[in-house]
């Protein structure tokens, strides 16, 4: 994928522990267009590549805006963005990709948990611009940790957004059943945030009869995996017929790298979908947060950065 050189033209503290970065092309040309829900790959200081949702108006082409939560428990990307990236710095990014697009619907319900507000803020801007019917529920730990709160308060869609603070009065804490209401074929749900938040909203929605086709979600990080029972298996490369061992403590991506076979990766957590590889034979042990349950059941593709094999071998379309 083509890499674009962009300059950090503005770095802003949006809330406690959250900074936004406004990016513009170094050459001053318009940026590639994007749609609500899109993200970009960012080569952060230190050589890491991380994915961040675009949270500015999708009608803009003079800038991209991302927001980053400083997380000391992360794998280094967020700390590097906060501490090492400053206004005037030049970095490289990918063109936007969208695995979390808005669907045509009579009504949209947006559920944001913490920094998960970023793609949903872009969605709210788009829905408001076209006069669509929607509501947004934005849950955070506290008012001080609520990014874009003032911006939303003065926006054209301020009356559509409901803020919920964990440390606030019980009456204003997010009540998912009340926010969802009865299943309506004309309504679609969008959820983004920490895994626990997403799982809660999705579980409640399922229990209330909302079909998975109307519930759309995006994870920022994979849930911890119990790897104690992992075992070795083999992968066969269809184009050459050669077979390679994948040790119990090694991913498919890293095992193949050791033999000079490169698979493009980005997040290495099964979140972004960059490494998706077709499976011709065998049954994958899906550990990603990218595919839907229906897609996983087909067993015709998997994410080799984190997923494994249930049997002794996978034949890959490589």
Domains defined along the chain, listed by start: 3-94 (2.40.30.10), 107-219 (3.40.50.80), 233-316 (3.10.20.30)
pLDDT digits 0-9 by tens, 21-37: 999 999 999 999 999 99
Q: Is the pLDDT of residue 146 over 90?
A: yes
pTM of this structure: 0.80
**E strand residue ranges, the chain:** 3-15, 18-25, 39-43, 49-53, 64-69, 90-94, 107-113, 133-140, 161-165, 187-193, 215-219, 233-237, 243-246, 277-281, 284-285, 301-302, 308-309, 313-316
Tell me the pLDDT tens digit for each residue of 236-251. 999 999 999 999 999 9
Structural contact between residues 72 and 83, judged by C-beta atoms closer than 8 angstroms:
no
% the chain with pLDDT above 90:
79
Q: Could you tell me if 67 and 58 are in contact, meaning their C-beta atoms sit under 8 angstroms apart? A: no
User: What integer pLDDT is reported at residue 1 of this predicted model?
Assistant: 52
pLDDT in tens, 40-77: 989 888 777 888 999 999 999 999 999 999 876 665 67
pLDDT of residue 228: 84
First to last CA, the chain: 18
What mean pLDDT value characterizes the chain?
A: 92
Give the Cα separation of 131 and 123 in Å (integer): 12
- Reported as a single tens digit per residue, the pLDDT across 121-143 is 999 999 999 999 999 999 999 99
Phi-psi region of 150 (alpha: psi -120 to 50; beta: other; left: phi over 0): alpha
């Amino acid at each position: 994928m083509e890499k674009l050189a962009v300059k950090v033209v503005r770095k802003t503290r949006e809330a406690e522990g959250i900074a936004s970065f406004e990016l513009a092309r170094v050459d001053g040309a318009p940026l590639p267009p994007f749609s609500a829900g899109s993200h970009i790959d960012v080569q952060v200081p230190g050589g890491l590549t991380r994915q961040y949702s675009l949270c500015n108006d999708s009608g803009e082409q003079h800038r991209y805006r991302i927001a980053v939560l400083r997380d000391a428990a992360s794998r280094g990307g967020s700390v590097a963005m906060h501490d090492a990236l400053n206004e005037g710095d030049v970095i490289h990014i990918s063109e936007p990709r969208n695995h979390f697009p808005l669907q045509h619907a009579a009504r949209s319900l947006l559920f944001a948990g913490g920094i998960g507000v970023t793609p949903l803020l872009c969605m709210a801007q788009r829905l408001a611009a076209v006069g669509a019917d929607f509501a947004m529920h934005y849950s955070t730990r506290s008012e001080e940790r609520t990014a874009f709160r003032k911006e939303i308060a003065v926006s054209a869609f301020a009356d559509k957004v409901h803020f919920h603070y964990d440390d606030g009065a019980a009456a204003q804490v997010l009540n998912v059943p009340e926010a969802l209401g009865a299943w309506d074929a004309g309504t679609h749900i969008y959820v983004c945030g920490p895994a626990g938040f997403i799982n809660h909203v999705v579980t409640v929605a399922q229990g209330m009869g909302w079909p998975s086709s109307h519930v759309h979600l995006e994870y920022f990080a994979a849930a911890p995996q119990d790897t104690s029972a992992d075992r070795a298996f083999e992968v066969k490369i269809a184009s050459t017929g050669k077979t390679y061992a994948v040790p119990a403590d090694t991913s498919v991506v890293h095992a193949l790298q050791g033999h000079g076979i490169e698979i493009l990766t980005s997040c290495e957590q099964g979140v972004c979908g960059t490494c998706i590889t077709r499976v011709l034979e065998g049954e994958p042990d899906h550990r990603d947060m990218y595919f839907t349950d229906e897609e996983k059941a087909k067993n015709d593709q998997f994410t080799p950065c984190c997923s494994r094999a249930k049997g002794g071998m996978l034949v890959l379309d490589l």
